[in-house]
Amino acid sequence: MNAKIKRVVISAIPIIAFFALWEFGARFAPKGSLKPPTSVIPATLSALFSKKERLGYQTLVSMGRIGAGFGLAAAVGNTLGFLLGTYFKRLERWLLPFFRVCEKLNPFALIPIFMIFFGIDTKEKVALVFWVCLWPILTTTQEAAKSVDVSLVRAARSMGANRFKVFRSVIFPFVLPSVFTGLKLGARVAFFMIVAAETYGSSSGLGWYYMRKNALYNLNLLYGSVLYITLLAILLNYVFTRLEKRFLTWKTAAFR
């Protein structure tokens, strides 16, 4: 058997076992407590393309909020991380305790506070996503920039490289893997944060959709929402992993 096919088959075994146990367990669970996947999956797929359920539309709403908050956090976090980890190290030492406190704050506890400042609309959701994404992105980039080999920087400067060339040829390639690590961590927390934020005073999005199905006690779409959100998170992580491998491979080839 081809090695790649073998890996796929081995990886699929736990997934098949999970759905088999779910199907088997649903038949013996108390009535009205658990729906089998053979009922949940078709209902969810139908809701995804249904004009009445509009699960697809709610997905686009949530992804738009994630994209705005995450994109802003990536721009701010990576820029600050590079600057504080290289050219403004004294300022970084002063700000580090403040960053550590902000990083440790429970984002779920901050939801009501963000609602007071930004209102109960898209701005609040985007601000929450920005907040939770900023710290892993900023921290990973900042720590990587601080650990750049000083001898490489000195060697580049001795050959006449200015600050921009040092950044482009030495610092940026060195920090790039950590940038992707921070982006992956940020995207992961962003996805679950937006779902949590949309369960509070929202009228759209995946979190709102889940709470609505819970209120209506629609078990098929209640369990389907959980499964669907989980699959979206896995897909998002897979996309970032593929981008990371492809981009870093390109950078490696460019600097040979």
Task: Answer whether residue 157 is part of any domain.
Answer: yes
The answer to whether residue 82 scores a pLDDT higher than 90 is no
- Mean of the pLDDT values across residues 241-251? 71
Q: Give the per-residue pLDDT at 252.
A: 47
Residue 238 CB neighbours (<10 A): 10
Task: Answer whether residue 166 is part of any domain.
Answer: yes
Q: Three-state DSSP class for 119? A: coil
Summarize pLDDT for 63-80 with one digit per residue, the tens: 999 999 999 999 999 999
Q: Is 30 left (phi over 0), alpha (psi -120 to 50) or beta?
A: beta
Task: Answer whether residue 186 is part of any domain.
Answer: yes
Q: What's 181's domain CATH number?
A: 1.10.3720.10
The answer to whether residue 154 scores a pLDDT higher than 80 is no
pLDDT band at 165 (very low <50, low <70, confident <90, very high): confident
Q: Count the domains in the chain.
A: 1
Domain span holding position 249:
39-254
Closest CA relative to residue 84, chosen from 75, 71, 93: 93
- Mean of the pLDDT values across residues 152-157? 75
Q: What is the spatial distance between Cα 46 and Cα 65, in angstroms, rounded to a whole number?
A: 24
- Nearest-5° Cα angle at 63, 39 to 227: 20
Q: What is the spatial distance between Cα 112 and Cα 211, in angstroms, rounded to a whole number?
A: 17
The answer to whether residue 253 scores a pLDDT higher than 50 is no
Phi/psi at 205 (5° precision):
100, 170
Contact 243, 184 (CB under 8 A): no
pTM: 0.84
Percentage above 70 pLDDT, the chain: 96
Task: Answer whether residue 12 is part of any domain.
Answer: no
Task: Answer whether residue 74 is part of any domain.
Answer: yes
Summarize pLDDT for 96-136 with one digit per residue, the tens: 888 889 888 888 888 999 999 998 888 999 999 999 999 99
